[in-house]
Chains A and B, each alone.
Chain A
Amino acid sequence: DEEEEDRGRGRSHPVEDEEFDREFSKMLAESLESRKSERRSAFDVPLPVMRSVQQQQQYSVVDMTGKNSEEPENRREPSFTKNVQFRLLTKRGNRQQIHTVEVPADSAIAVSTRMKQKAEQEE
């Protein structure tokens, strides 16, 4: 409960705006609608060959509140949650690129990855 109070601090209370809500939802709906008839085969790009250090590391926990964080301070909000390193695959022209991104440890993807890894270890 405390935590919630904290997050709200510095802002006024969340303002209800049903009309904005509706507009937002409409954007989603129209976007989906516009691509309903698009057909495409299932996405299946092989993983980039980059299986070096990072691969073994599995997932690593980076404590963002630690003083030895290399990132400049203003890059991220001070957060008490730990972050998990993921890699993001993008494309520039036809070239694949890999970026490291730090996903909050309590996000759905981090949680499910952790559970998967746990399950694999137990096997």
Chain B
Amino acid sequence: EEDEGEDDEERELPDYACAYCGIHSPSSVVKCAQCDKWFCNSRGNTSSSHIVNHLVRARHKEVCLHAESDLGATTLECYNCGCKNVFLLGFIPAKSDTIVVILCRQPCASATSSKDMTWDTSQWQPLIEDRSFLSWLISVPTEAEQVKARNPTAAQIAKLEEIWKNNLSATINDLENSAPDDEPVPVLLRYEDAYQYQRCFGPLVKIEADYDKKLKESQSQDQLVVRWDIGLNNKHLASFVLPKMDMGDVKLAVGDEMRLRYNGDIRSKWEGVGYVIKIANNISDEITLELRRNDKSVPSDCTAGFSVDYVWKATSFDRMQLALKTFAINEMSVSGYIYHKLLGHEVAPVVLKTAMPKQFAAPNLPDLNVSQVHAVKSVLQKHISLIQGPPGTGKTVTSATIVYHLAKMNPGQVLVTAPSNVAVDQLTEKIHRTGLKTVRLTAKSREDIESSVSFLALHEQVRLNDTNIELQKLTQLKQELGELSSQDEKKYKKLTRQAEREILTNADVICCTCVGSGDPRLSKLKFRTVLIDESTQAAEPECMIPLVMGCKQAVLVGDHKQLGPVIMNKKAARAGLHQSLFERLVLLGLAPIRLNVQYRMHPCLSEFPSNMFYEGSLQNGVTTHERLRKNVDFPWPIADTPMMFWSNLGQEEISASGTSYLNRTEASNVEKLVTRFFKAGIQPSQIGIITPYEGQRSYIVSSMQTNGSLRKELYKEVEVASVDAFQGREKDYIILSCVRSNEHQGIGFLSDPRRLNVALTRAKFGLVVIGNPKVLSKQPMWHHLLTHYKEKGCLVEGPLNNLQVSMIQFAKPRMPY
């Protein structure tokens, strides 16, 4: 009966009622000019107004006001050029009068206005502000109207928009009749067998792969201007700026492959493939591509008329799928014990009968503390173990020591992997120091990239190997001529493979990325002992690649309280692909051995993270005395307590690229802090600036250089990067710019506790957090943090040369963790 009543009400609604909520006062609704549906300017249940919701989700851009509204049936447009795209529209005032006019941002409002002009384009402001139209243009419905209206959720709105793509006449009432969501099957805690395991993870890897491909391939860019160089190896280098790349979706990495094409008029068409050898950084926004072949037709005399595409490679996803398959069908892929453990089956604990080393410290590595010795000891006695290394607790040294003992105790080579090349290089370097024969295997595309362990790279060891005269001759010949005859090339390849095999089989340890362990050059080898560092940053199928090569003893090192793997596809992430194997094993009751002495932070800096993320278990291996710099003149609110939260109430805004955020007040204060540090004698390399948004990162980089009162070069050398980029690293002083400051949109990925943990634990000697306490305190975890700073007397406001203890009232925390 009630349903019928509602239907009756539906029928009474005028055709200009909001298609989401039914609100229909003429001054609050507008018509979408592309689909003729009406929407209101209220937020309802969502963070954006209904009309903005519709425009974004349907990718529509033009609106028309109601005939009975104050302005009459007007289509919003630029007064000057007639552009109707509301995402570009804004308004400017006249200089001497209270009159305003609507102008588009590009190009009309971006032309610089001269002094004697009537209008002030510098005052341009968008019509859509804080995700809704300006209320003086389209009124916000009254509370009374909103209470009476339907109140669809963001998910329902998204669904309705999805249905409209096929059936424009559908209404919100049709939602219930639509098909259920096509969410993938979520991951489990336990699996019956490896086939079920494969059936679960296989589709998730595929979803992620398809999404990644779509994202990367949409990064093509036309009208590039290219600068040409010749590299040391005589290969052509093409450098260019890719504005699209900083839009946040896709991060270009060194080693990625791109296709450069020439389609200008000066010369005939050309295309060539190359590897990215340099990405945008503080010094320059340019990307450099090294062309693969020595191609004589390279149009290096042309600079304009180029376009570039991303060449997507399925390699890493293929290797994950292959690992899942191997795990399922090959009984020798892992030992029985590991098999059952990975699937979450109950297995009686087994203590390995190993003769314990007399001394736990490895040659040329630092001595171990109690918790590190404990970790080494228990790892050597177990088939599978987890080591949790909170920030600064000596994870790499512990891992290297473990590898040393495992290599000495077990037959065959130890396979050492980590998800990232940086982490692999760091660990390789330490393992090499112990005197073990260590080989670093890199992807072909990264062979030319310099690193601290280049000399341990397999291809380098082959090159330097002077026992095979014939191979040496051919290598030299190839370098001189650029190419070999087909017969020589065959021979060269065969001899190279032979040399590689020899080096690999003679090694004690082979180090590569998790994906790298799927390299064909390792396919013939078996690895009974595997250590995976930073394993909490790898998706579970990624960890399986090194494990299914015959593993009998596995060591997973990581910290599930820091950032996890990056999964681009939301559905796959939601279904559980963002959970690492380490985390699932913890959930299954495998207790991680925790390293609990931190050697990085001033004790006042480790207190909050220890309490918030590690149950208060983190001890300080450094004293207050060792982490204080008496001669550094800096206005810490409490002397000897080098931490502060500097309240900044400036607004956030959308960055120039349009896909990120920036906050000018915070950026300007970052510069003031940096200048102050410089004046106190701190070097640029000792300072790190962390900000979660790419928009703010690039804004800080450029605004520091233009506004800083000291030498430009100094500011250039300060590293400004995302939380994610700082994971695993440290600086003496850290400035954290939070950026988010708004009424309705929340604080984005600052609400992730793992990201906050990483951000707070990078500094050794001092930490400054800049943010809006009113906004941040809505989130319970940030509320705790702010309370902590307040209680310590370290929450301050005002100008840097006259900081005052802030008495600001926090908001009540509302959002869940």
Taking Cβ atoms with an 8 Å cutoff, the residues of A that contact B are: 1, 4-5, 7-8, 10-33, 35-36, 38-48, 55, 58-59, 73-78, 83-92, 98-104, 107-109, 112-113
Q: Cβ of A23 and Cβ of B56 under 8 Å apart?
A: yes
How far apart are the CA atoms of A24 and B654 in the complex, in Å?
10
Residues of A within 8 Å of B249, CB to CB, are 22
Given contacts A1-B809, A75-B25, A99-B70, contact A31 B61 (CB under 8 A): yes
Q: Cβ of B745 and Cβ of A28 under 8 Å apart?
A: no
Q: Cβ of B106 and Cβ of A90 under 8 Å apart?
A: no
Q: Cβ of A19 and Cβ of B107 under 8 Å apart?
A: no
Given contacts A12-B45, A29-B657, contact A74 B749 (CB under 8 A): no
Known: A29-B247, A43-B79. 20 other contacts (CB 8 A): A12-B45, A13-B815, A15-B45, A15-B46, A16-B746, A16-B751, A17-B47, A22-B249, A24-B131, A25-B247, A40-B81, A42-B112, A43-B108, A45-B80, A47-B97, A47-B118, A59-B98, A86-B93, A109-B125, A113-B98
Which DSSP category, helix, strand, loop or mixed, fits chain A's interface?
A: mixed
How far apart are the CA atoms of A52 and B269 in the complex, in Å?
65
Residues of B within 8 Å of A1, CB to CB, are 774, 809, 811
Looking across the interface, which residue of chain B has its beta carbon closest to that of A46? B118
Given contacts A43-B103, A47-B97, A78-B142, contact A32 B748 (CB under 8 A): no
Looking across the interface, which residue of chain A has its beta carbon closest to that of B143? A10
Looking across the interface, which residue of chain A has its beta carbon closest to that of B103? A43
Q: Is B139 interfacial (CB-CB < 8 Å)?
A: yes
Given contacts A43-B80, A84-B98, A99-B71, contact A25 B654 (CB under 8 A): yes
Q: Is B252 interfacial (CB-CB < 8 Å)?
A: no
Residues of A within 8 Å of B389, CB to CB, are none
How far apart are the CA atoms of A40 and B46 in the complex, in Å?
38
How far apart are the CA atoms of A44 and B702 in the complex, in Å?
31
Q: Cβ of A26 and Cβ of B659 under 8 Å apart?
A: yes
Residues of A within 8 Å of B154, CB to CB, are 15, 17, 20
Interface residues on B, range: 35 or more
How far apart are the CA atoms of A26 and B570 in the complex, in Å?
17
Q: Cβ of B570 and Cβ of A43 under 8 Å apart?
A: no
Q: Is B660 interfacial (CB-CB < 8 Å)?
A: yes
How far apart are the CA atoms of A62 and B405 in the complex, in Å?
81
Q: Cβ of A44 and Cβ of B118 under 8 Å apart?
A: yes
Q: Cβ of A27 and Cβ of B87 under 8 Å apart?
A: yes
Q: Is B146 interfacial (CB-CB < 8 Å)?
A: yes
Q: Cβ of A88 and Cβ of B71 under 8 Å apart?
A: yes
Can you list the 3 inter-chain pairs with the closest CB atoms, starting with the nearest?
A29-B658, A28-B658, A25-B659
Q: Is B147 interfacial (CB-CB < 8 Å)?
A: yes
Residues of B within 8 Å of A74, CB to CB, are 25, 142, 144-145
Residues of B within 8 Å of A89, CB to CB, are 79, 99-101
* 24 A-B residue pairings within 8 Å (CB atoms): A5-B812, A11-B45, A15-B153, A16-B47, A16-B745, A17-B46, A18-B748, A24-B131, A25-B660, A28-B87, A32-B105, A38-B107, A40-B81, A41-B111, A43-B79, A43-B111, A55-B97, A75-B139, A76-B27, A76-B142, A90-B102, A92-B74, A104-B136, A107-B134
Q: Cβ of B136 and Cβ of A101 under 8 Å apart?
A: yes
Instruction: Write the nearest CB–CB distance from B48 to chain A, whole angstroms.
Output: 7
How far apart are the CA atoms of A68 and B723 in the complex, in Å?
55
Query: Which of B70, B135, B141 is the one whose CB lies under 8 Å from A104?
Result: B135
Q: Is B439 interfacial (CB-CB < 8 Å)?
A: no
Q: Cβ of A24 and Cβ of B119 under 8 Å apart?
A: no
Looking across the interface, which residue of chain A has its beta carbon closest to that of B656? A32
Query: Which of B59, B80, B101, B123 is the one whose CB lies under 8 Å from A27?
Result: B59
Residues of B within 8 Å of A86, CB to CB, are 93, 98-100, 136
Q: Cβ of B140 and Cβ of A77 under 8 Å apart?
A: yes
Instruction: Write the nearest CB–CB distance from A89 to chain B, whole angstroms.
Output: 4
How far apart are the CA atoms of A91 and B74 in the complex, in Å?
9
How far apart are the CA atoms of A101 and B133 in the complex, in Å?
14
How far apart are the CA atoms of A22 and B745 in the complex, in Å?
12
Instruction: Write the nearest CB–CB distance from B651 to chain A, whole angstroms.
Output: 9
Query: Which of A25, A42, A91, A99 is the one whose CB lies under 8 Å from B121?
Result: A42
Q: Is B435 interfacial (CB-CB < 8 Å)?
A: no
Residues of A within 8 Å of B523, CB to CB, are none
Looking across the interface, which residue of chain A has its beta carbon closest to that of B223? A37
Q: Cβ of B107 and Cβ of A77 under 8 Å apart?
A: no
Residues of A within 8 Å of B541, CB to CB, are none
Given contacts A1-B809, A43-B119, A46-B118, contact A22 B101 (CB under 8 A): no
Q: Cβ of A47 and Cβ of B94 under 8 Å apart?
A: yes
How far apart are the CA atoms of A113 and B267 in the complex, in Å?
56
Instruction: Write the nearest CB–CB distance from B146 to chain A, whole angstroms.
Output: 6
Instruction: Write the nearest CB–CB distance from B276 to chain A, whole angstroms.
Output: 22
Q: Is B114 interfacial (CB-CB < 8 Å)?
A: yes
